[in-house]
Amino acid sequence: MPKMKTKSSVKKRFSLTAKGKVRGNQAGKQHGMIKRTNKQIRNLRGTTILNDCDAQIVKKFMPYG
């Protein structure tokens, strides 16, 4: 059997934590920062853990973790 391929876009954007949760970038920071509050911009820094329903979709594209 051939090996399954990992989706290239997923391996660039997401990573797994030690417990198997999916870590991804915060959404909503690409453009339009003028209309966002400073608190909003501050809280959108860094990465976040995806919801379980979204994580299941991402894990399908990462067969080997």
Go through the domains of the chain in sequence order and give each one's CATH number.
8-60 (4.10.410.60)
pTM of the model: 0.82
Instruction: Tell whether the model's pLDDT for residue 27 goes beyond 90.
Output: yes
Question: What is the C-alpha to C-alpha distance for residues 3 and 57, in angstroms, rounded to an integer?
Answer: 19
Confidence (pLDDT) at 65: 80
Confidence (pLDDT) at 36: 96
End-to-end CA distance of the chain: 19
Confidence (pLDDT) at 55: 97
Question: What average pLDDT does range 37-52 have in this prediction?
Answer: 97
Tokens representing residue 21 in the block: 């949760």
Question: What average pLDDT does range 25-41 have in this prediction?
Answer: 95
Confidence (pLDDT) at 62: 94
